[in-house]
Homo-oligomer: A and B are copies of this chain.
């Protein structure tokens, strides 16, 4: 009954849109997407488990088996909704010169290229969830998925210049404020496409975190878009770009919240790599097609910090256990730090591998980091020097537990998401105060005039 009423609201938003502007329709489609997602997920859970798509939640008493790869459902729902969105974007209500708040017809093929890239990402992410593609290869899957968008960009648009800061312009004696990167620009875009999905995938392992971070990042991008819409007019070239970005992101938030309902602590479903890749790719697609990939990066600060912080383990400077998730204590229901133990058999390794002791030159570094509260250490004073027995695993999830002490899973997730929002918002403010000084103007006003 309630759900019927909500459907009615969503349809009303989509269709009763007199001074047609796409944001109202986007909100309608977001509600529709939320509803489809929340009704499909419980309907298909059993079928997923039956097909072997399930995983154990190690941070719950009894380690229950719950459906895995469930991110495919909101992802497919999103594609469905975005395809239904097309006529509302490109036909209904647009006037002769295509400027009534709708999109010029020329943007259609770019839009379709974006959808093709997202679809490719879903398919490849699903392949990864089904067949466990090797780490080295899966890292590159987003680059493959970005090919449709890059090719359509090349055929349809082909601007390969980026803006450079004032001081760089003077220093390099450039005559204009932009540099044409030529073919390098496509490598740059492919890197963005590799970066976003893998970033989301790397900060994972706590109920709600994978989906939550995509919701927060989408929210930050929406704030950025709103900023441009508020200072621009329909005639300014950045206007339609940021309007399009909102049309991508609002329905995305709808389906993501639908998934979050089931993935939030205590999770009833896992989202799978499909979701991380798909969510990240939505951001990449929005940034690339909107020509604001650099701004996009600002919202991934926790992911970047997590990557840098993880680097000593990822690149083998200190041992890296198979899982680096926090450790669940059934007695108090809290998450504790997980550790890398030196000179001990690695309990997470299948082969019973023994970790080497910590390199003696790294001991002072570890002790220094401990003093800065950047790592948790279990040590012993022995024969006039410190022996490091174990250190916390190098993920920001563990780092937060170093700071907070044992913590319940949902509180930890909330804290991580709040940090994501706070750092992103700070960068957003910086972006619109500092960048104009560096670049000499805000590129909302100067952006390479694309579609007009």
Contacts and interface: CB of A to CB of B under 8 A. Distances in A.
Contacts of A80: 144, 147
Contacts of A155: 86-87, 90-91, 105, 108
A130 interface: yes
Contact of A152 (B84, B112, B120, B127): B112
B147 A84 contact: yes
Contacts of A147: 80, 83-84
Interface residues of A, number: 38
A440 interface: no
B83 A116 contact: yes
Given A51-B130, A76-B127, 15 more contacts: A76-B123, A79-B120, A83-B151, A91-B154, A108-B109, A108-B156, A112-B116, A115-B116, A116-B116, A116-B119, A119-B119, A119-B123, A123-B123, A123-B126, A126-B126
Interface of A: 44, 47-48, 51-52, 76, 79-80, 83-84, 86-87, 90-91, 105, 108-109, 112-113, 115-116, 119-120, 122-123, 126-127, 130-132, 144, 147-148, 151-152, 154-156
A3 to B, nearest CB: 21
Contacts of A51: 52, 130-131
Tell me the number of copies of this protein.
2
8 contacts: A47-B131, A47-B132, A76-B123, A87-B154, A91-B155, A109-B109, A109-B112, A112-B148
A83 B120 CA distance: 11
Across the A-B interface, the 4 shortest Cβ-Cβ residue pairs: A112-B112, A119-B119, A109-B109, A47-B131
A83 B148 contact: yes
A234 to B, nearest CB: 21
A116 to B, nearest CB: 6
A123 B122 contact: yes
Contact of A52 (B52, B113, B126, B132): B52
Nearest to A51: B130
A178 B29 CA distance: 37
A42 to B, nearest CB: 15
Contacts of A126: 123, 126
A86 B120 CA distance: 16
Nearest to A48: B131
A123 B119 CA distance: 9
Nearest to A114: B112
A20 B90 CA distance: 33
A155 to B, nearest CB: 5
A237 B193 CA distance: 39
Contacts of A112: 109, 112-113, 116, 148, 152
A31 B144 CA distance: 20
A445 B114 CA distance: 36
Nearest to A151: B86
Contacts of A79: 120
A127 B53 CA distance: 13
A166 to B, nearest CB: 35
A76 B116 CA distance: 13
Contacts of A115: 116, 148
A10 to B, nearest CB: 18
Nearest to A69: B130
A7 to B, nearest CB: 19
A413 to B, nearest CB: 30
Contacts of A119: 116, 119-120, 123
A86 to B, nearest CB: 5
